[in-house]
Amino acid sequence: MKFEGKVWKFGDHIDTDVIIPARFLNVSDKDELKKSCFIDTRPDFAKGVVSGDIIVAGINFGCGSSREHAPLAIKAAGVGVVIAKGFARIFYRNAFNIGLPILESEEAFASFSEGDRISVDLVTGEIRGLESGKSFFAKPIPTFMQQIIAAGGLVNYIKERG
The predicted structure's pLDDT at residue 28: 83
Considering only CA atoms, which of 59, 55, 42 is closest in space to residue 82? 55
Kindly report, residue by residue over 40-54, the tens digit of the pLDDT. Answer: 999 999 999 999 999
Q: Give the pLDDT score at 158.
A: 94
Strand, coil or helix: what is 87?
Answer: strand
Residue 162 pLDDT exceeds 80: no
| Local structure of 104: helix, strand or coil | strand
Total number of domains constituting the chain: 1
Q: Is residue 86's pLDDT more than 80?
A: yes
Domain limits for position 49: 2-160
Q: Whole-angstrom Cα distance, residue 88 to residue 160?
A: 28
Q: Which candidate, 40, 39, 36, 160, places its Cα nearest to that of 99?
A: 160
Q: Is 42 exposed, middle or buried (CB count within 10 Å of its CB: 0-12, 13-18, 19+)?
A: middle
Q: Quote the pTM value.
A: 0.95
Contact residues for 49 (Cβ-Cβ < 8 A; gap 6+): 8, 37, 77, 78, 79
Here the CATH number for the domain that contains residue 21 is: 3.20.19.10
